[in-house]
Structure 1
Amino acid sequence: MTRKYESNMPFARVLHAVMAIIFIASSAQAQSAPWKPDRAVTLVVPYAAGGGTDATARAVSRQLGVLWDQPVVVENLPGADGLIGTRRVMDAKPDGYTLLLQVPGIVLTKYTPGLKGIDPLARLEPVTAVSQSPAAIVASAKLPVKTLAEFVAYCKTSVQPCSLATGESLARILGRQLAAETGIPNLIVVNYRGTGPIVTDLIANNVNLSFTGITAALPHYRAGTLKILATQGKTRAAALPDVPTTAEAGFPQFQSVTWFGLFAPKGTPVAVTQGIVAALRDAVKDANVQKTIAAAGAEPVVNSPAEFAAQVRAESERLGALVKLYPLE
């Protein structure tokens, strides 16, 4: 019996060594594989359907669903300058299954009267930018103006005060800045719950002007029912090559680029956020996703959580300085 046991020892050692190698290789493979959800993911858009944030969310959610083999459901929760939908994600479990798509206006929440100084960024993890697009200065086609300078001149001499439609805090600040720095008297700022109603009233000339995303305005611009007086990027928008930038129009202080960024609840594991970024890098390569983003006048920009966090901080500093000059009311 003893001799038989001893004769099998080399084989037992080899088998043990092989099993150890298999275990180590399996563990390494499991660690290197990016995180993927095993059930439906909710992507919250804190604005009404039909705007640039919603269009971006729906473009990437479909492809993420394909890549993950799990549904990615877009949930529109507008209200309170985006805080209602944002709070939904702030209060969610930090496990990657409830995500938020937001825009730079999120950094202004803490300055908004009535919102009690709530700072969503203190309870969210920046994950990545998804795309970016210059905002546009959009006017009713019924106005007798062709340029931003002509609009300013028109408002200075019009018997009726000019009006500006806004759907979020940043546009309200830009409206006050426009009135103060160009000398437009008595500019009326009208608040809306979403981009869709703004576009409807712009077409009817119930309001005269708006700072808004390119997405909702583009088809109406092409149809001739809206005018886009300028775009706010450093260079002309690819979707609007004939429209000047604000700098080219003589108003460089109104330069602004809107990023559409993905956030997760604070405390979401690094492996989860990295898995989301990896999937998004693949998602934006899809031809249909690129087509949808391009149609919105945007371009895909997927960066790392650290890079996006730095981008959010820079925007917070820029807009924080602006809100000191033009406080929200």
Structure 2
Amino acid sequence: MKLSSVVRCLAAISLLGVALAGMPARANANTGAAPGGDFPQRPIRLVVTFPPGGGTDTLARVIGTELGRSLGQAVVVDNRPGASGNIGAELVARSPADGYTLLVVNSSFAINPGVFRKLPFEPGKDFSAVIAFASVPSVIAVPEHSPIHGFKDLIAAGRSGKPPSYASCGNGTPQHLAGELLKISARTDLLHIPYKGCAPAMTDVLGGQADVSINTLTNTLPYLKTGKLRALAVTSRGRSPFLPEVPAVSELGLPGYDVDQWFGILAPAGTSPEVVQKLNLEIARVIARPEVRANLANLGFATTHSTPAQFQRVVNADIARWTKLALRIGLKAD
């Protein structure tokens, strides 16, 4: 089950936001107490597996600031980059299951099991899903003077015997796998050029060192607005509200294609359902605030909401599908 499917199962986000904003905490059937009881009694740590300044870090700080105000306790962002996010993930997996140490992840978390094969934790078992709160698609784009004018031109060029090169944010990133899934789904060829991050990948596409960009909407949008890049398609199941005129790959002869990068929060496995539920409800209220949604929209992120069970299904399904693809293409860690 993909994140877009989860979102479709929910009421429209705007209506959900109104409902959540005014919804009191649900009483525990046995005790009459609100979910989570008197949690929290001390500061909460949000572990981010990327350096400060990136998209995941920015999201964590926006959510953390607002969540702290709601809960009446400080929410501290703790950056633990390294090993493609596995250092921070292991730290949280080994932390007490009390709700005070949480992991902020994007969909790379579900890709890592297929890339690294052996991890010091089990991504599908050592965490309890709390909520998926944002998503961003990637955009397939070409420089303004490219001879590739549309998506069909890209597929045809890949079948010509001289496949175009595409720049991704690195081996094993959602952008890399979006390209590999496109090759398999469309029965075409593209030459992958991995970079150490999304910014250098974009720089080389703009400089003519790579033919095609598969990069996040957040990084791509400014160059679309100035005309330096031309969008061919977005990788999410449906069109992005930020680029409504650009078709999704799934509309262009590849139904079912969906690589939407999600962002969410996990707790250590064994965290009490009451604490998980309270965190879910409070974060949902935060995301429902118009000023928060507007802030994230300005950064290129769409807000979403899921129950813990729905997000857990997304994580498990993505671990399965990306591990299968990684094995098929022989993907290994750098």
Which category of TM-score, normalised to the shorter sequence, fits these structures? 0.7 to 0.9
The alignment status of 1:304 with 2:307, answered yes or no, reads: yes
Q: Paired residue for 1:287, among 287, 290, 296?
A: 290
Amino acid at match of 1:146: H
In the aligned structure 2, how far is the partner of 1:275 from the partner of 1:65?
13
Task: Indicate the larger mover: 55-64 or 175-184.
Answer: 175-184
Task: Please tell me whether residue 183 in structure 1 is matched to residue 188 in structure 2.
Answer: yes
* Alignment match, 2:8: none
Q: CA deviation at 1:31?
A: 5.3
The offset of 1:323, in angstroms, is 3.1
The structure number with the bigger radius of gyration is: 1
Are the equivalent residues in 1 in contact too, given 2:114–2:327 (CA < 8 A)? no
- SS of the counterpart of 1:174? helix
Query: Quick one: distance in 2 between partners of 1:173 and 1:275?
Result: 34
The 5 A counterparts of 1:110-259 are 110-113=113-116, 115-116=118-119, 119-141=122-144, 143-154=146-157, 162-167=165-170, 169=172, 170-179=174-183, 181-184=186-189, 187-192=191-196, 194-252=197-255, 254-259=257-262
Pairwise CA distance, 1:290: 0.7
Distance in 2 of aligned mates of 1:204 and 1:76: 32
User: Would the aligned equivalents of 2:93 and 2:121 in 1 still touch at CA under 8 Å?
Assistant: no
2:242 alignment partner AA: A
Distance 1:229 1:86, change over 3 A: farther
CA contact (8 A) 1:52 1:214 kept: no
CA distance in 2 between partners of 1:30 and 1:197 (Å): 51
Alignment root-mean-square deviation, CA = 3.1
CA distance in 1, matches of 2:61, 2:141: 24
CA apart distance, 1:166: 2.9
Check conservation: 1:284, 1:290, Cα contact below 8 A: yes
Partner residue, 1:97: 100
- Distance across 2 between alignment mates of 1:95 and 1:210: 42
Percent sequence identity over aligned pairs: 28
What is the total number of aligned residue pairs between the two structures?
A: 301
In structure 1, list runs of 5 or more residues that go unmatched: 1-26
Closer, same or farther: CA 263–136 of 1 in aligned 2, 3 Å: same
How much has 1:68 moved relative to structure 2? 1.8
Q: Which residue of 1 aligns with 2:85?
A: 82
CA distance in 1 between counterparts of 2:36 and 2:280 reads 13
Q: Deviations over 1:30-71 (max 9, x none)?
A: 555655433332222223445443343233122112112333
Q: Which has the higher helix share?
A: 1
Question: In structure 2, what is the equivalent of residue 24 of structure 1?
Answer: none
Displacement of 1:303 after TM fit?
2.2
Q: Does 1:317 align with 2:333?
A: no
Letter in 2 for 1:183: T
CA shift for structure 1 position 286: 1.4
Q: Residues 122, 205 of structure 1: CA spacing in aligned structure 2 closer, same or farther, 3 A cutoff? A: farther
Secondary structure class of the residue paired with 2:276 = helix
Tell me which amino acid in the other structure corresponds to 2:129.
P
State the 1:222 CA deviation: 1.8
Q: Using a 3 Å threshold, how does the CA distance of structure 1 residues 111 and 239 change in structure 2: closer, same or farther?
A: same
Asked if 1 retains the 8 angstrom alpha-carbon contact of 2:176 and 2:192, the reply is: no
Taking the aligned partners of 2:39 and 2:208, their CA distance within structure 1 comes to 48
Residue 59 to residue 202, structure 1, CA distance change in 2 (3 Å): farther
Matched residues in 1 for 2:189 and 2:35: separation? 58
Structure 1 residues 69 and 81: alpha-carbon distance in aligned structure 2, compared to 1, 3 A threshold: same
Aligned to 1:10: none
- Identify if the C-alpha distance between structure 1 residues 321 and 260 changes in structure 2 by more than 3 Å, giving closer, same or farther: same
Distance 1:75 1:156, change over 3 A: farther
Q: Which runs of 5+ in 2 are unaligned?
A: 1-29
Q: Which amino acid aligns with 1:103?
A: N
Compute the displacement of 1:188 (Å).
3.4
SS in 2 for 1:236: coil
Q: 1:142, 1:48 → 2: CA distance?
A: 34
List per-residue Cα deviations over 1:91-132 (Å, max 9, x = no partner): 222222221121233223222147558532321111111123
Cα distance in 2 for partners of 1:50, 1:199 equals 17
Listed one character per residue, the Cα deviations across residues 255-293 of structure 1 (whole Å, up to 9, x for unaligned) are 222221210112222222112112112101212211123
Equivalent residue for 2:12?
A: none
Amino acid in the other structure paired with 2:167 = L
